[in-house]
Amino acid sequence: MPKNNVRVLFLGDIVGPIGRRVVKYYLNYYKEKENIDFVIANGENATHGRGISFNHYNELINSGVDCLTSGNHFFENRDYLKDEYNFSSMIRPINFDEDCPLKGSEIFTLKDNTKIRVSNAIGRVFLNQAQYNPFYMLYNLTNEEDVIHIVDFHAEATAEKRVLSEYLDGKVSAVIGTHTHVQTNDAKLLKEGTFFLTDAGMNGEYDSVLGTIKDNSIYKTVTLMPAKFETNETGDGLLNGVILDIDKESKKVTSFKLLNEVILKEELYKNSL
């Protein structure tokens, strides 16, 4: 019997080599066990915590990610600008300038012809990279039928994320926040059926400051002196994300499960995944 639901995994910001390892570990062991049909992950911190290289893009796609989204660190790695590199499964904030490489929204078709649109937008509160209004640009994509629509809203302010979810309530399947690297405990189905989570969290080093080495962050914050944010190569990992069960007919989320797990270094690097 065909499944009535599509199971989508959304992973929060992937930070550095430990974050990439966490994603690879989880998908290697659990993608099939959890019957996950489609994987979305925010990859804007995948390369040393800032941007994503083509090599690391390929690493994550080969690990089992189907669509990568981005955010305010998009231009901190310039591989997007090189014609020889094909980032076909990655999108960037839709409200960047129209001349920016890549698309801000894309439709992916599963083997059973189920269509999933993934859109990425960047917030305007405390961030200064939005060329266009994310509310209007996302609303313009909501008149499609027979499409599951999941939005990654990469934004700083919790209120702005909630306002967008209410603005799109009933018009998209889910609005999930990224950027702050801290998973929030407010996952819910809104009045008209849209799933909302203020922030999916991060995939990176557990004993860190938002995925970066603690000492550098402490020095910069305490002294206001310049310090380079860096990521460790090995360490215990934190897995953050959410699994959504979405009805194929209504395009609504019927159930969800937050992922918030610590993966010890010994397990994470066992058998050199």
> How many CA atoms, within 13 angstroms, populate the side-chain half-sphere of residue 54?
11
* C-alpha to C-alpha distance for 200 and 11, rounded to whole angstroms: 7
Q: How far is CA 166 from CA 10, 127, 197, 213, in A?
A: 20, 21, 12, 36
- Dihedrals phi, psi of 56, to nearest 5 degrees: -75, -30
Distance separating alpha carbons of residues 205 and 143, to the nearest angstrom: 40
Active site residue 48: no
Cα–Cα–Cα angle for 106, 18, 83, nearest 5°? Answer: 40
Candidate list 48, 56, 73, 181, residue with the active-site label: 73
Check if the beta carbon of residue 10 is closer than 8 Å to that of residue 207.
no
Q: Which residues are bridge partners to 257 per DSSP? A: 243
Residue 225, SS3? coil
Phi, psi of 166 (to 5 degrees): -70, -35
Q: Write the DSSP string, 26-80.
A: HHHHHTTTTT--EEEEE-TBTTTTSS--HHHHHHHHHHT-SEEE--TTGGGSGGG
Residues taking part in catalysis: 73
